[in-house]
Structure 1
Amino acid sequence: MNDLPAALVTGASSGIGGTYADRLARRGHDLVLVARDVAKMDALAQTLRAETDVTIDILRADLADETDIAAVEARLRDDARIGVLVNNAGLSFASAFEQQSANDLAQLVAVNTTAVLRLAHAVAPRFVAEGRGAIVNIGSVVGLVPEFGQSVYGATKAFVLFLSQGLAHELGPKGIYVQAVLPAATATDIWARAGADPAALPPMMAVGDLVDAALAGFDRREAVTIPPLHDGELWDAYQAARVAMIPGFGQSLPAPRYTGDAE
């Protein structure tokens, strides 16, 4: 009998999600694969079943569709085998903000933020009752860099980071590990789906390297894992500066620079 928890991975047909599925299966975790492309999930599942001794279930779902996301929520609530949730599914659009359609933006927000929130919320009560479990949310360094110009995509990834940090603060004391993973440009098919010009794309990290680094951070129980950031002290300084501001947020009077009292 497999004592490791099963893992539910969204966006699991290819790219980061497919690679997470591969790596977790080779670690011995049973899997529930969630994505829109059943054929790709079937092909991946057949390969992994042949090469590992794990059970793999496939759940076809479009996380922008209410009926589909409700089915994934139900699976997370009811399947006691699932002890790891990997919220990986995401969308991106290459055009400028003023050129993006309202429908595209609504779908982007639905998949990149609402689905992440709802699936974490669906599984959290069971994890808390059991006193264990892990939630991995795939964000992006774009959520820290407005200068990249991907305003809505970056905003959704900033949401993922904040949600992850907030859940770590709330759920960590209850035995739940929450990790935010912030990739930079990674060689997946999201670029082609977003309509990006291949000639304009920057150098990218191999998806296997990204996931292996993320899992190293998972094993170390990092709250935030940023595989492309070589100088980890920069993130530590960023966090320290943020925490240092917290006492100032409790001031009841405006800062002197806003009242004309500054020297």
Structure 2
Amino acid sequence: MSDHQRFAVVTGASSGIGVAYAERLAARGYHLILVARRRERLEETARNIRAKTNVTVEIVTADLGDSNDLSRVATLIEGREDIDLLVNNAGLGALGLTAQVSAAALDNLIKINVQALTRLTHAALPGFLRRDRGTIINIASIIALMPTPTGAGYSGSKAYVLNFTRSLQMELANTKVKVQAVLPGPVRTEFFEASGLKQAPFPDELFMTPEELVDTALTALDQDELICLPALQDLSAWTAYEAARGELIRALTQSGRPAARYAKRVG
């Protein structure tokens, strides 16, 4: 462990995955800055962690869908030299058929899943690069790889998280700054209830606990596995997916001409 005081910022830290990250990072010696809307939940999490560890726990009540609150959290991150880790965990589902989901719900999903994650990452990067150390963990989802008819906005937002993270990995390849994307499957949290579903659309055996997920993702990070698919038993499936994606990209970049199937037919 380095001798400087290390802080980790965790968003969405009032429940589920966010609480699990806070607890696990505290156990690893990180001091914490916990961000969420529900102050009572944040205070409860902070009390529990302080009772078990000697770390400092700061809480920041903020709605990352609100531009003023988002700017306030971004300014905090930009102004601190002791932040070494950012967990972009805050997220919304807005599940359902797109025509039946409210415009406000979709707007808020984009604000939190896409805009807030991007803004806070942008706030952290200059300091990380200046110090040539730091880690950003972006919580995506397996749904980034699987379009769905009842979660178009959510799927699209998580595909953004995945591609944004992968692009950053390329940008930062020659630095000591790490960016990890975590793609969970179903997790036992308040997510589906908060999305307005009475029952999760997955069988019970597919669910991980938040603690299992975070332990897996942090082990993957320790092993420099920067795309973490926690439930994937055989990594060759991801390797094959990546090979197929690369083959498609090569096929798409052979020529700038329209494909023959689009040529006008005569007669």
- After TM superposition, the score normalised by the length of structure 1 is 0.94
Deviation at 1:93, TM superposition (A): 2.2
Deviation at 1:201, TM superposition (A): 4.6
- Given that 2:97 and 2:149 are in contact with CA atoms closer than 8 Å, whether structure 1 keeps it comes out as no
CA distance in structure 2 between the partners assigned to 1:99 and 1:62 by the alignment: 24
- Given that 1:8 and 1:33 are in contact with CA atoms closer than 8 Å, whether structure 2 keeps it comes out as yes
Gaps of 5+ in 1: none
- Is the alpha carbon distance of 1:199 and 1:244 closer, same or farther for their aligned partners in structure 2, counting shifts above 3 Å? closer
One-letter code of the match for 1:230? Q
Deviation at 1:200, TM superposition (A): 4.9
- Given that 1:12 and 1:33 are in contact with CA atoms closer than 8 Å, whether structure 2 keeps it comes out as yes
- Given that 1:4 and 1:28 are in contact with CA atoms closer than 8 Å, whether structure 2 keeps it comes out as no
- Given that 1:2 and 1:28 are in contact with CA atoms closer than 8 Å, whether structure 2 keeps it comes out as no
Residue number among 236, 242, 247 corresponding to 1:233 in the alignment = 236
CA distance in structure 2 between the partners assigned to 1:59 and 1:252 by the alignment: 50
CA distance in structure 1 between the partners assigned to 2:87 and 2:101 by the alignment: 28
Match of 1:41 in 2: 42
Match of 1:122 in 2: 123
- Given that 1:172 and 1:178 are in contact with CA atoms closer than 8 Å, whether structure 2 keeps it comes out as no
| Aligned residues between the structures | 261
Match of 2:214 in 1: 211
**Mean CA deviation greater in 67-76 or 148-157:** 148-157
Identity %: 40
CA distance in structure 2 between the partners assigned to 1:145 and 1:19 by the alignment: 26
Question: Do structure 1's residue 255 and structure 2's residue 240 form an aligned pair?
Answer: no
- Given that 2:192 and 2:200 are in contact with CA atoms closer than 8 Å, whether structure 1 keeps it comes out as no
Residue number among 231, 240, 245 corresponding to 1:242 in the alignment = 245
- After TM superposition, the score normalised by the length of structure 2 is 0.93
Q: What is the root-mean-square deviation in Å for CA atoms of aligned residues?
A: 1.8
One-letter code of the match for 1:134? T
Deviation at 1:148, TM superposition (A): 5.7
2:173 aligns to what SS in structure 1? Answer: helix
One-letter code of the match for 1:98? A
CA distance in structure 2 between the partners assigned to 1:181 and 1:138 by the alignment: 5
One-letter code of the match for 1:249? L
Gaps of 5+ in 2: none
* Structure holding more helix per residue: 1
2:21 aligns to what SS in structure 1? Answer: helix
Instruction: Tell me the alpha carbon deviations over residues 136-184 of structure 1, each in whole angstroms, 9 at most, x when there is no partner.
Output: 0000001111146311100000000000000011023222101000001
